[in-house]
């Protein structure tokens, strides 16, 4: 198999990269807002006691997302094709760009996907 074709089909990450699209604190804050809306929507009251009850769950979620958002975690779950060494970044990026430049452009009916 041509190495340039293989590079384009692979998803690789740098060892210091993160896979989350939303910062951990922001995600935990959104989950708190959802919990508050659910409680208030059911006729409950949001107060300091309710906040104290939700706080450990929010903190646990934030910690879990922080731990599971590393490139090592993603590679360990085989969500990607591996981690590249930082000093190999330019070589891998160069191969990927060269392969993309030489690849045929097929007509599509969808927009751009963001990974």
Backbone angles phi, psi at 78, to 5 degrees: 60, 40
**pLDDT confidence band for 89 (50 / 70 / 90):** confident
Tens-place pLDDT, residues 10-27 = 666 666 677 777 888 898
3-state secondary structure 73-106: HHHHCCCCCCEECHHHHHHHHHHHHHHHHHCCCC
Determine the pLDDT at residue 36. 92
Average pLDDT rounded to a whole number, residues 91-112: 84
Tens-place pLDDT, residues 44-82 = 998 999 989 999 999 999 999 888 888 888 888 887 777
- For the whole prediction, is pTM greater than 0.75? no
How big is the chain, counted in residues? 115
**pLDDT confidence band for 3 (50 / 70 / 90):** very low
pLDDT higher than 60, residue 9: no
CATH 3.90.226.10 fits 3-101, yes or no: yes
Determine the pLDDT at residue 109. 86
């Amino acid at each position: 198999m041509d190495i340039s074709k293989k590079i384009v089909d692979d998803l690789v990450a740098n060892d210091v990269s993160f896979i989350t699209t939303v910062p951990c604190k922001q995600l935990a804050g959104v989950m708190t807002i959802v919990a508050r809306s659910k409680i208030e929507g059911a006729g409950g009251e949001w107060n300091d006691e309710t906040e104290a009850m939700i706080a450990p769950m929010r903190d646990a979620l934030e910690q879990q997302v922080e731990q599971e958002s590393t490139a090592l975690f993603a590679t360990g779950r085989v969500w990607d094709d591996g981690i590249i060494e930082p000093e190999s970044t330019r070589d891998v990026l160069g191969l990927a760009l060269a392969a993309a430049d030489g690849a045929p452009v097929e007509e599509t009916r969808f927009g751009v996907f963001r990974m």
